[in-house]
Structure 1
């Protein structure tokens, strides 16, 4: 057997403690599969006194997290701190600069600084692994980077945030509204006390930026991802979707088109969608994640499983450590960082498709005519229009499904209605997944 792989672990939260437990529980199996023992030798976290249910006395404790990067006994650093910048980025840069491999679950850091870190790792011939950064224990990074490496990927779609999917599934199953289900998700530990990153789509957008880079050979470009979360979705929207043979899901979509064509470039968006009942993503429920990749030779690939939690995420971290123990380095984003293209952002207005629009309106004569006129003047063709009964506050819901058409026309129609006295709230627009 080769010498053991010595790990410095930063962050001892749910996932960090899970990594220690997994390495302990499956030590013999991991050694057989990797050809060498993998052992944590040093750790760092904010609170040294906290009881994490694991024996930390056997590890060197470093109060200064950045010091892990230069620790003499550490071969590879595992960063589980989180955050796009700050201590996590300092540690990542320090580890690679000091000649240590890096394993991270930090999707925000990679979405913002992945190109820099990949170039630094490649310059020094070091591994930079991040399977745990997207979709927890699902091996989607390895699947795109290695399994589908011979394919040109046409499109990647995915349910990338378990909190949002849990909330939408619960609303669907029980006919409840968003705020009530969010409170329950927080009580059960599925949502953070401050759920903004989850419910506003930011977490999913970080992950989509990483997937798009791997799929299309482009630089991670979080700033180019259009983001809309789920906080404005009503139980009534989910009921209307069901009546139309669809389910509401927060879906990330990435698609690359020729930049010399109208609407071309890299399209990236996280947004609530109406998903047809016969689409694989319509059947993803609870906190599960799923990613669909469409290759020109392999066809449709579906990756599905637990997207978060101590066990699944720790499994992905340790899988990366096993690769490093085996001597697998590779290029972090499937091709050299210098070869990653700076793709222009696609004009979403040129995308064609059907859409669902919901308006909360004053229940009076002329409202439907005003909405229909705005649609007509913007060139939006209406497939169906449904008005539901008046609520206790005197408002009614109007749901519209459009025929196939460019998104800019829908945007123009909504702009025409901005400030209308007939509307009692902000309209909701959801694309219908094709």
Structure 2
């Protein structure tokens, strides 16, 4: 006897939504076998129902609220994007006891707590594997596979657009503006790339990862953020000379303050990464996340971080889990927020710095510059001078020091007569000295 179908509402028919519907339709028998009951698409919410959308016209609706509220809908798949409208729809679904699968990192980074509370109250499932790194399974391993371990650090490349741009700049020697334009032509960058290149997208994902890894609610506003728009081809050339490359990193880690207090850090910025570090070889639009746990050690997750089909794969994995729970009467993992750790300010974080500055080509410059570092107990690892005359350039790499001390040092360098201009300031990650 065929089991009663599990009703699914799909909100959005863009790149991801279209792939979700296509795969569900083409592999209906496989999904039924995996779940124990058939999945039935009850409707697909779109902005406009006119035109050929490649799906049966009777499934289309421009009233997502009505679709979410239907009695024959058991699971809602939200792939709309944006925050305000999806928030209302997802909350409505959860309050009605319907399970929700979302790929909306911006929504989760701001309202995970509100959504998790609604899901817990109504005993509904909230899944969001696709919100962090496309097809790469990161959320579920953190929530389930490593639930018995202590995660100390999660760091990675979680934005394909910026990784494509930096990889292309590194390979071709082209400047940022030229490479961004090429990324747009190839479809890797949006018409307005701000969310990607200024680090907002990665910050949303960092907030989600930190919340899960450290059992603490973290929002996007808690994440320190810098983008890649100031990276130059000279920076990448210098990075090569230091046996490094440059990547936009999302870093979430436990730290202990000088007073012995446990805190967490969540930050996003472009950084020099040594070529022997596993993240250095992640190029193009690919993503990778490295997790460091006390018992498991270092784990690396790598793959397609964006795109319609890869993201749909993660959405459908969540859909199978939610549908099984509906069929068998189980529940997915609940939000874990017991730790309630505070987020440390960026100034308390120990980092290494790369500082590139145009300087006057005359005796005593190096001693004057070095004195500014010494005043704030920032130890210099290496110093290199490139060029001469008006084109003289000094590159300083430091040892580990408090980020506040390094920031103060950079500010003081700008005031020196012998420093014409501080061209670039980047952090160096992946080392321990």
- TM-score (normalised: structure 1): 0.92
Q: Is the 8 A contact 1:356 1:432 kept in 2?
A: no
Secondary structure of 1:219's counterpart equals coil
Alpha-carbon separation, structure 1, partners of 2:106 and 2:373: 38
Query: Which residue number in structure 2 is paired with residue 63 of structure 1?
Result: 62
Larger displacement relative to structure 2 (279-288 or 406-415): 406-415
How much has 1:196 moved relative to structure 2? 0.6
Show the counterpart of 1:12. Answer: 13
Q: Counterparts of 1:2 and 1:258 in 2: how far apart (Å)?
A: 53
**Any idea what SS the aligned residue of 1:157 has?**
strand
How many angstroms apart in 1 are the aligned matches of 2:52 and 2:232? 41
Mapped partners of 2:424, 2:208: distance in 1: 31
Cα distance change of structure 1 residues 50 and 249 upon mapping to structure 2, 3 Å threshold: farther
Q: Which residue of 2 aligns with 1:385?
A: 383
Structure-2 separation of matches of 1:364 and 1:22: 67
What displacement does 1:340 show?
A: 3.6
Question: 2: CA distance between counterparts of 1:28 and 1:390?
Answer: 70
* Corresponding position of 1:298: 296
Question: What residue in structure 2 maps to residue 348 of structure 1?
Answer: 346
Listed as ranges, the gaps of 5+ residues in structure 1 are none
Q: Which residue of 2 aligns with 1:208?
A: 206
Q: Which moved more, 1:141-150 or 1:368-377?
A: 368-377
Q: Counterpart of 1:399?
A: 395
Could you tell me which residue of structure 2 aligns to residue 415 of structure 1?
A: 411
Q: Secondary structure at the match of 1:424?
A: strand
Change (3 A) 1:237 1:262: farther
Question: In the comparison of the two structures, how many residue pairs are matched?
Answer: 425
Query: Residue 111 of structure 1 aligns to a residue in which SS?
Result: helix
Please give the residue correspondences for 1:8-407 in structure 2 after superposition, counting only pairs within 5 Å.
8-52=9-53, 54-59=54-59, 61-83=60-82, 85-258=83-256, 261-262=259-260, 264-327=262-325, 328-333=330-335, 335=336, 339-361=337-359, 368-389=366-387, 394-407=390-403
User: 1:27 Cα shift?
Assistant: 1.6
Label 1:99 to 1:376 Cα distance change in 2 as closer, same or farther (>3 A). same
Is there any run of 5+ residues in structure 2 with no aligned partner, and where?
A: none
8 A Cα contact 1:263 1:348, kept in partner: no
Please state whether the residue corresponding to 1:326 is helix, strand or coil.
helix
Q: In the aligned structure 1, how far is the partner of 2:382 from the partner of 2:255? A: 31
How far apart are residue 269 of structure 1 and its match? 0.6
CA distance in 2 between counterparts of 1:91 and 1:260 reads: 45
CA RMSD of aligned residues (A): 2.1
Q: Provide the C-alpha distance between the structure 1 equivalents of 2:26 and 2:416, rounded to a whole number of angstroms.
A: 62
Q: Once the 2 structures are TM-superposed, how far is the Cα of residue 300 of structure 1 from its aligned partner?
A: 1.0
Evaluate the alpha carbon distance shift between residue 176 and residue 407 of structure 1 in structure 2; reply closer, same or farther with a 3 A threshold: same
Q: Cα distance, 1:390 vs. partner?
A: 5.9
> Equivalent residue of 1:423, what SS?
strand
Q: Secondary structure at the match of 1:354?
A: strand
Q: Quick one: distance in 2 between partners of 1:22 and 1:238?
A: 41
What displacement does 1:259 show?
Answer: 6.9
- Contact 2:96/2:122 (CA < 8 Å) preserved in 1? no
CA distance in 1, matches of 2:257, 2:39: 46
Tell me, yes or no, if the aligned pair for 1:273 and 1:433 is still in contact at 8 Å.
no
Q: TM-score normalised to the size of structure 2? A: 0.92
Q: Distance in 1 between matches of 2:258 and 2:405?
A: 22
Q: Which moved more, 1:355-364 or 1:140-149?
A: 355-364
Q: Return closer, same or farther for 1:37/1:58 CA change in 2, 3 Å cut-off.
A: farther
Separation of aligned partners in 2, 1:119 and 1:186: 39
- In structure 1, the residue corresponding to 2:23 is in which secondary structure? helix
Q: Distance in 2 between matches of 1:246 and 1:254?
A: 21
CA distance in 2, matches of 1:192, 1:368: 43
Compared CA separation, residues 191 and 396, structure 1 to 2 (3 A): farther
